[in-house]
Chains A and B, each alone.
Chain A
Amino acid sequence: MEGNDELYREIILDNYRNPKNRGRIERPDGAAFDSNPLCGDEVRIEVLVRRGVVNKIRFEGSGCAISIACASMLASRLEGKKLSQVQGADKKLVLGLLGGIDPGPSRIKCAMLPLKVLKLALLSAKSKKLNK
């Protein structure tokens, strides 16, 4: 597999070593946590949603470079975007963050975990609002 060197590009390693949007939100509108049972990657994401805009995205987590870098890049890319836009984010976006390199069937789970958790966080924000 020739793609490995390209997969671990400087931008990935940079986001792994110095992740952006890391931290917690004091009173988040939504929050979610999930882990990747196979490798132990863990990601928690909190969001602030105001007037149909995802104002703030913060994450905490531990895991491999792919999962942490994806969480970092995803949060900084989608923060401030319209709710519908964030809800519509898919695998294509994640692969784009990885420079268009498919990490393979086992590692794609690491890459997709943050997006999965972000969507769960948005769902929890929605149900919280509905319950108010």
Chain B
Amino acid sequence: MTLDEKKIRADFPLLNKKINGKPVFYLDNAASTQKPSAVLEALVEFYEGSYANIHRGAYSLSEQATDLYEKAREKVARFIGARPDEIVFTKGTTEGINLAAYAWGGANLSHADMVLISQMEHHSNIVPWQIVAKARKARVEAIRVDTSTLCLDMRQADELLAKKPKVLAVAHASNAIGTVNDVARLCRQAKEQGARVLVDAAQSAPHIRLDVGKIGCDFLAFSGHKILGPTGIGVLFISQSVQKSTPPFLGGGDMIRSVEIGSFTHADPPAKYEAGTPPIAQAIGLMAAIGYIEKIGLERVRGHEIALADLCQKGLEELGCTVYRCGQERWKGGIVAFDTPGIHPHDLATILDRENVMVRSGHQCAMPLHRALGVSATARASFYIYNGKEDVEKLCSGVERAKKIFGTD
């Protein structure tokens, strides 16, 4: 069941290049993943052979492009256990969450309603809700992170859910510390209280098999570029259950049935939520990316990442680093956030960059979480299918070098 990362690596042109004459150790996969040839070829093949705008022309090239775009939608639907008409293409997770917050929230939130999020959300699952809550005079509350387990405080979650929030918006997995949240349980409890649920799956879709039916959410968003696909493509699952109560978000071509000067009637979903020319080629690229990851098998992906992250955590702790990572087998992720005493994460990242070891440094777009952890910034190594032991070793030797430079060894 193990994964042959060297064989996988061969499929990724950039990872086989040298930068400044040295090999690449790419450990920023939670930010974005590299692209396999299969995805790049799908893009070129489409642009060279089948490209035209979709849902418009009565000519065969446009029909061919439309067919491929809709096949991509079907692929995504099967990938997460949804129906094709529940799949809306966006430009990424952020746009997906904004769509849900503005369209559903704008129509359904009212004075004194509670929007429940968590302290470990990415800013993209905080700020859209704050904006809409302010406009609707609703309020945003957050489930605490238990700083000893680095999991959500489920007892406090129970208390907050008992106060009947109108919507729960929660990450399936944290982008900063990798913790996987029990979203199925949270969804069940939220539903019992009559809340709608949005799951931010940006950090889970690339690593964990998703089934929107089993999770039980109304909305689920993820990005293509974090799962080997192109940038500019994302997915928002809008369950049939909320399609009536979610008005259109952007207005324009393709989302209408008819338009008068004074009014319009919208098309049926998913077109209802896809105004203008969508990212056609990017959707087709995403279809190739999902095909690639399915061939490997998502079940093997998570095991591989966890093993590397475990090794990485051990190595960094032996070097005196403080690691912020959930310790529970079921809920930990393939992300290792850490702090090296006496060395700011930015300085560390700059020194690591010399050997082409690429990590993220900063607040990881999760300022409330960092505040809860009592740190202003962390360094983060995040693993994916093409990473191996050499990446961990190179990172650890880089940290050792930084400690020498800073005289903290």
**Residues in A lying within 8 Å of B, measured CB to CB:** 1-2, 4-5, 7-8, 13, 38-42, 62-66, 103-104, 107, 110
Report the tally of A-B residue pairs with Cβ distances under 8 A.
Answer: 52
Nearest neighbor of A65 in chain B, beta-carbon distance:
B347
Nearest neighbor of B22 in chain A, beta-carbon distance:
A1
Bound form: Cα–Cα A2–B354 in Å: 7
28 CB contacts below 8 A, A to B, read: A1-B353, A2-B20, A2-B354, A4-B351, A8-B347, A8-B351, A8-B405, A13-B405, A13-B406, A38-B362, A39-B344, A39-B345, A39-B346, A39-B361, A39-B362, A39-B377, A40-B362, A40-B370, A40-B376, A40-B377, A41-B346, A42-B376, A62-B376, A64-B345, A64-B346, A65-B344, A65-B406, A66-B347
**Residues in B lying within 8 Å of A, measured CB to CB:** 20, 343-347, 350-351, 353-354, 361-363, 370, 376-377, 405-407
Top 8 nearest A-B pairs (CB, nearest first) are: A64-B344, A40-B376, A64-B346, A4-B354, A39-B362, A65-B347, A40-B377, A39-B346
Bound form: Cα–Cα A5–B344 in Å: 16
Q: Determine whether the beta carbon of A5 is less than 8 Å from that of B405.
A: yes
Out of A1, A40, A42, A64, name the residue touching B347 (CB < 8 Å): A64
Contacts A39-B361, A40-B376 given; indicate if A107 touches B351 (C-beta within 8 A): no
Out of B343, B344, B351, B406, name the residue touching A63 (CB < 8 Å): B344
Give chain B residues whose Cβ lies under 8 Å from the Cβ of A13. Answer: 405-407
Most chain-B Cβ atoms within 10 A of its Cβ — which of A40, A63, A107?
A: A40
- Shortest Cβ distance from residue B407 to the other chain A in the assembled complex, whole angstroms: 7
Out of A1, A2, A4, A107, name the residue touching B346 (CB < 8 Å): A107
Contacts A8-B351, A40-B363, A64-B346 known; 10 new A-B pairs at CB < 8 A = A4-B350, A4-B354, A8-B406, A38-B362, A39-B344, A39-B377, A63-B344, A64-B345, A65-B343, A103-B350
- Shortest Cβ distance from residue B37 to the other chain A in the assembled complex, whole angstroms: 28
Bound form: Cα–Cα A63–B350 in Å: 14
Bound form: Cα–Cα A40–B381 in Å: 19
Bound form: Cα–Cα A7–B350 in Å: 10
Give chain A residues whose Cβ lies under 8 Å from the Cβ of B406. Answer: 8, 13, 65
